[in-house]
Amino acid sequence: MKQQNLRHTTTRNAFFWGWVLILPTMVGLVILNIYPMIKTVYQSFCKTGDFGRGNIFIGTANYAKVFSDPVVWQATLNTFKYMIVEVPFSVIIALFFAVLLNKNIMGKSIYRTIFFLPMVAAPAAIAMVWRWLFNSQFGLINNVFHISTHWISDPSIAVYSIALIGIWSDIGYNMILFLAGLQEVPREYYEASSIDGTNGFQKFHYITVPMISPTIFFVLVTRIIAAMQVFDLIYMIMDRSNPALSKTQSLVYLFYQYSFVQKNFGYGSTIVVLLLMFIMVITVFQMFAQKKWVHYN
């Protein structure tokens, strides 16, 4: 009898303390993430006045406008272009370097630090430095290689220049994740395959990639979500007077323009909901696809 009572108290205690300890995170999540999300979706059905006062409910008028707006579809295309270039390259390059740095070479820690440094630098500082590097008249790239490409003002290549910066800053983060995944691969597999006579590339293809496929999957999902939300690079590097802006602005950039510069919160919220739909579809697709190529032990 007494034992049962004790167990009751302990479980109740554990239950209580469990909730107390996750309360801060729950509160933060609800206030900063869930409530704004619901409010934004609601906002997409409204029209706002000055300084956020006077919300008028207008139903799906914003959605009708969004689906027929060429600017929004161009921005969607821009965002996809950025994502298609940035994610694969940053993942492949990071994987390559992670495999190299997994071996016991000299100065391994220094290399790892150097690769990770871009993650530590402030995004504003990164944007400013690259903005100067890419300047067609006085920038370092054009002056060192004696070319005169308009990296960030030519409508056809500006979005890829921005993707280049994205790749450069993400390699470090991806690499750290891959290194962690690589540590998990048992050394015996490689030794066994050496006995069977495989070369480096075959080892990579048949052992490394399948063994770290959960990590690759995680990196792919999170990086795609982050790439679809690109904003700060475009905002800080390209001014309104830039001819390439219409072919580079992302959906989040459009959201910022409509919501905060033009104070049209309703339309901005609609764009964000549209982005949410895109990301959800892609992520769900990835979740289904994981059954095909991700090997969990």
Partner 1 sequence: MIWDSNQEPGIRKLIDDFTAKTGIRAEIQVVNWDNYWTLLSAGAEGGALPDVFWMHSNESQRYMSNNLLLDLTQRIKASTEVDPENYPADILGLYTYNGKYYAVPKDIDTIALWYNKKLFDEAGVAYPTADWTWDDAYEAAKKLTKADGSVYGYANVNTNNQAGWYNQIFDNGGYVISDDKKKSGMDDPKTIEGMQFMAKLINENLMPSPQVMTETGEDVLLESGKVAMTTQGSWMLAAFRDNEYTMANCDVAPLPKNAKTGRRVSIYNGLGWVVSAKTSRPDDAWKLVEYFGSKDAQLKQAQLGITMSAYKGTSNAWKNSVPQFNLQAYLDMQNDMVIRPYSRNTVKWENAINDCMLKAWTKELTMEEACKEAARQMNAILAEE
Please give the residue ranges that form the binding site for partner 1 (CB under 8 A): 50-53, 135-138, 150, 152-154, 238-244, 260-263
Does residue 109 sit in helix, strand or coil? helix
Helix axis angle for 70-102 and 108-120, nearest 10°, is 160
**How near is the Cβ of 134 to partner 1 at its closest, in Å?**
8
Q: Which helix (H) or strand (E) holds 165?
A: helix 158-183
**How near is the Cβ of 64 to partner 1 at its closest, in Å?**
17
**How near is the Cβ of 121 to partner 1 at its closest, in Å?**
21
**How near is the Cβ of 151 to partner 1 at its closest, in Å?**
9
**Residue (73 or 132) nearer to partner 1, CB:** 132
Tokens of 192: 């066994």
Q: Which helix (H) or strand (E) holds 57?
A: strand 56-57
**Residue (153 or 174) nearer to partner 1, CB:** 153
**Residue (81 or 263) nearer to partner 1, CB:** 263
**Residue (69 or 154) nearer to partner 1, CB:** 154
Q: Report whether 253 contacts 75 (CB < 8 A).
A: yes
**Residue (90 or 242) nearer to partner 1, CB:** 242
Give Cβ neighbours of residue 14 (< 8 Å, ≥ 6 apart): none
**How near is the Cβ of 22 to partner 1 at its closest, in Å?**
29
**Residue (74 or 136) nearer to partner 1, CB:** 136
Query: For 168-206, b where at least 16 C-beta lie within 10 A, e where not — what string?
Result: bbbbbbbbbbbbebbeeeeeeeeeeeeeeebeeeebeee
Q: Report whether 48 contacts 265 (CB < 8 A).
A: yes
**How near is the Cβ of 93 to partner 1 at its closest, in Å?**
28
Give the whole-angstrom CA distance, residue 168 versus residue 171.
6
Closest CA to 184 of 210, 211, 203, 207: 211
